[in-house]
Amino acid sequence: MLAIDFGLKRVGTAVGDTELRIAVPGKTLPNDDRLVERITGLVRSRGVKKVIVGMPLTPSGREGERAKAVKAFVEDLRRALPDVPVETWDERYTTQEAERRLSDLPPARRKKIIDAVSAQIILEEYLGSLL
């Protein structure tokens, strides 16, 4: 599986295994005009069977403004990967949890990996729901 933490500037990724129930941070990609192409390449090269994209919901569980951009991105991925399921997952509070996990790191290092760690948390939560 591949999890994605979609941001307007950077996109974090994490990879995981449903049998082992593990998730590890992957690459942080720039959100540019080659993003879907890069993710498609990751999916193909790693033999990914499912993509999970974090959906930014409000604290009350509703879709806010950022959710529109994520929905458009998900549709682009579904068109580019017609044979791979692309699902969304509630990503509320994943950034805060990633910040907590990385609190001992210097700010510059934290900034470089926080999106990938957020994606890891999304995937950990998704894998936990499969029990």
- Residue range 53-105, pLDDT digits in tens: 999 987 888 888 889 999 999 999 999 999 999 999 999 888 888 988 999 99
Q: What is the DSSP string of 8-52?
A: SSEEEEEEEETTTTEEEEEEEEE-STTHHHHHHHHHHHHT-S-EE
pTM of the predicted model as reported, rounded to 2 decimal places = 0.91
Q: What per-residue confidence (pLDDT) applies to 111?
A: 86
Checking if the pLDDT of 43 tops 80, the result is yes
Higher local confidence (pLDDT), 43 or 93:
43
Angstrom distances, CA of residue 84 to CA of 20, 52, 74, 80, 128: 20, 11, 12, 9, 21
Among the listed residues 29, 14, 28, 6, the one whose alpha carbon sits nearest the alpha carbon of residue 120:
14
Higher local confidence (pLDDT), 14 or 57:
14
Checking if the pLDDT of 33 tops 80, the result is yes
**What CATH number does the domain located at 2-129 have?**
3.30.420.140
